Chains A and B, each alone.
Chain A
């Protein structure tokens, strides 16, 4: 009896060990597959121009060269190649203000929709949410028309970075409101009630109670918004036709679309375009995850 149960236990332990081993093999195998594009991106970006032949595509570089990055960043006047440096800064000037404005508006909307519900606020919210799912193709034509009619420093908002910021703030309203609404819903209403009895107003409640508690909410929203604004292509390519005001996704696409550009320069450019959001992901990954899950409505 005892020997039999021992044997049974022995085999299960054996199978279990084997099972765990295969789980690791599968997971690590898939992880390596996922990293292949990054490997290619990094080694190609670091190769010297002499080493860039497609037959040696997968070989490690002989040293670390930054020639490709320099060329991707500065461009090459002789070849009429525009560098991505300017586009990179455009993306910064675009993403930072757009992110801050979106977060502030989302926070106020979330506050009202959770703590100052009014008749119709439960209808307003889903109507607002629908805006984050629409294919933006269905609003692009009037958007271009309207932007070109809003005056801006002697011209119009169309084709300018402030115009693009405006667009991102507006179409970012649904998601930022959603995340803040879910976040503030977790803050007990009793807290608000109590402070109202103490004479706090709608503004002071926000300023002294909600806002100080909002830091994690702001981090989640800002990461989400920064990533989506930085990575956006459709709005950017539609609203900014002039290379001087194009963000990096459009610049990179133009760079990669021209056949005269060496592919190591394209890879270096891709790495430059990916770096800021990757950095955010690496340093603030925890919050990034939360934003992702909030994006699926039920956080």
Chain B
């Protein structure tokens, strides 16, 4: 019994440095950032005079921030749809006893190994539209070469923001409902965000593919066979058996990709920067700019806290859910 307590204490001592480090560097630091966001510290000299929610009020009234939120929401939705659909399609096709599966799988997955900075640099050149004088470049030039010139457009250099036009039928209908705010460029997706989504999907869809593939391999063949014997078509099997069984994987993928896309920063830095009229700006970029270029530490902290809250809303229920289901096992 003596040895037991000695070892129990040692066990706790062994994990204490890590636990303390996380307590200070994660929770303590978050607390400090939260505190800073309520202060006047908006210059190089720290000023911890409390101002309540002033930084947040100013932030939400700031047009750049509003555009950033629009971009984040648009990016997240498009990126999730693209990765889930593409990832599942690839996994489903690869699961059909394909020759050369290993090579194909590696090709779809390798962009995961590369940094967003490299991806950003390469895609910036790929989607660089070129100019009137010098001619098309990148993907536009490729379109020219294969006779698809009509597909050419400005990619991330195009300032267009797709949204519901207020004068259209739907726009007027929304106005009658008192929702005219939905038919404005503040609820839309910019061409720049679509370009970012293309690059990000190239990088991350292999991840969803790997997750779905692992899930598909876990579904016993007998289940499909039994359904076939009962006369179910392949489409019915897919819809009524495979997809419902993969739901936990879809949920995990949504959480993982969702929190990555809310935090996206590197790709924006390397590929587009904030863009014309902030068409590709995101809160993470705004935060860094405000804090470390502009020295507005309190305002930067408030952006960081908004980011953290968005991620926490997504992650905490997931953590509770996974640790609970694990405990039940």
On A, residues with C-beta under 8 Å from B are 20, 23-24, 26-28, 30-31, 34-37, 40-41, 44, 54-55, 57-58, 105, 108-109, 112-113, 116, 118, 121-122, 124-131, 133-143, 146, 170-171, 173-174, 177, 201-203, 227, 230-234, 238, 249, 252-253, 256, 263, 266-267, 269-270, 273-274, 277-278, 280-282, 285, 288-289, 292-293, 295-298
Contacts and interface: CB of A to CB of B under 8 A. Distances in A.
B1 interface: no
A289 B115 contact: no
Across the A-B interface, give the 5 residue pairs with the lowest CB-CB distance, nearest first: A231-B115, A116-B11, A281-B113, A139-B29, A137-B304
Interface string B86-98: 1000100110101
A131 B18 CA distance: 12
A27 B98 CA distance: 10
Q: Which applies to chain B's interface (DSSP): helix, strand, loop or mixed?
A: helix
Interface stretch (B188-196, B225-233, B264-272): B264-272
Contacts of B291: 140-141
Given A57-B138, A298-B252, A202 B7 contact: yes
B15 interface: yes
Interface of B: 3, 7-8, 10-12, 14-15, 17-19, 21-22, 25-30, 32-33, 36, 86, 90, 93-94, 96, 98, 104, 106-119, 121-126, 130, 134-135, 137-138, 141-142, 145, 202, 207, 210-211, 214, 248, 252-253, 256, 259, 262-263, 265-266, 269-270, 284, 287-288, 291-292, 297, 300-301, 303-305, 307-308, 311, 315-316, 318-320, 322-323, 327
A275 to B, nearest CB: 10
B122 A34 contact: no
Given A135-B308, A135-B311, A292 B207 contact: yes
B22 A27 contact: no
A274 B117 CA distance: 10
B316 A130 contact: yes
A27 B270 CA distance: 30
B272 to A, nearest CB: 12
A296 B259 contact: no
Contacts of B292: 140, 238
A298 B130 contact: no
A238 to B, nearest CB: 7
Contacts of A285: 106, 109
Contact of B319 (A130, A139, A142): A130
A138 B118 contact: no
A142 B122 contact: no
Contacts of A58: 141-142, 145
B327 A130 contact: no
B105 to A, nearest CB: 9
B122 A41 contact: yes
Contacts of B17: 105
A134 B308 contact: yes
B3 to A, nearest CB: 8
17 contacts: A23-B96, A27-B98, A40-B125, A55-B137, A108-B15, A127-B22, A135-B311, A137-B304, A140-B292, A142-B36, A143-B29, A202-B10, A231-B116, A249-B115, A267-B122, A270-B118, A298-B248
Nearest to B256: A296
Nearest to B271: A256
A143 B262 CA distance: 21
Given A37-B123, A138-B30, A252-B270, 19 more contacts: A26-B93, A34-B111, A40-B126, A44-B125, A54-B134, A112-B12, A118-B12, A124-B19, A128-B18, A131-B26, A138-B307, A141-B304, A142-B33, A171-B26, A173-B18, A253-B270, A256-B121, A273-B117, A297-B252
A273 B115 contact: yes
B269 A141 contact: no
A234 B26 contact: no
Contacts of A138: 29-30, 33, 304-305, 307-308
Contacts of B7: 116, 201-202
Nearest to B270: A253
A26 B89 CA distance: 10
Given A34-B107, A173-B18, A267 B125 contact: yes
Nearest to B103: A31
Nearest to A281: B113
Nearest to A110: B15
A37 B119 CA distance: 9
Nearest to A143: B29
A36 B142 CA distance: 11
Contacts of A282: 106, 110
Given A252-B118, A297-B252, A233 B123 contact: no
A34 B205 CA distance: 10
A229 to B, nearest CB: 11
A219 to B, nearest CB: 15
A177 B112 CA distance: 22
Contacts of B253: 296
A274 B115 contact: yes
Contacts of A129: 319
Contacts of A136: 263
A109 B117 contact: no
B219 to A, nearest CB: 16
A49 to B, nearest CB: 16
B15 A139 contact: no
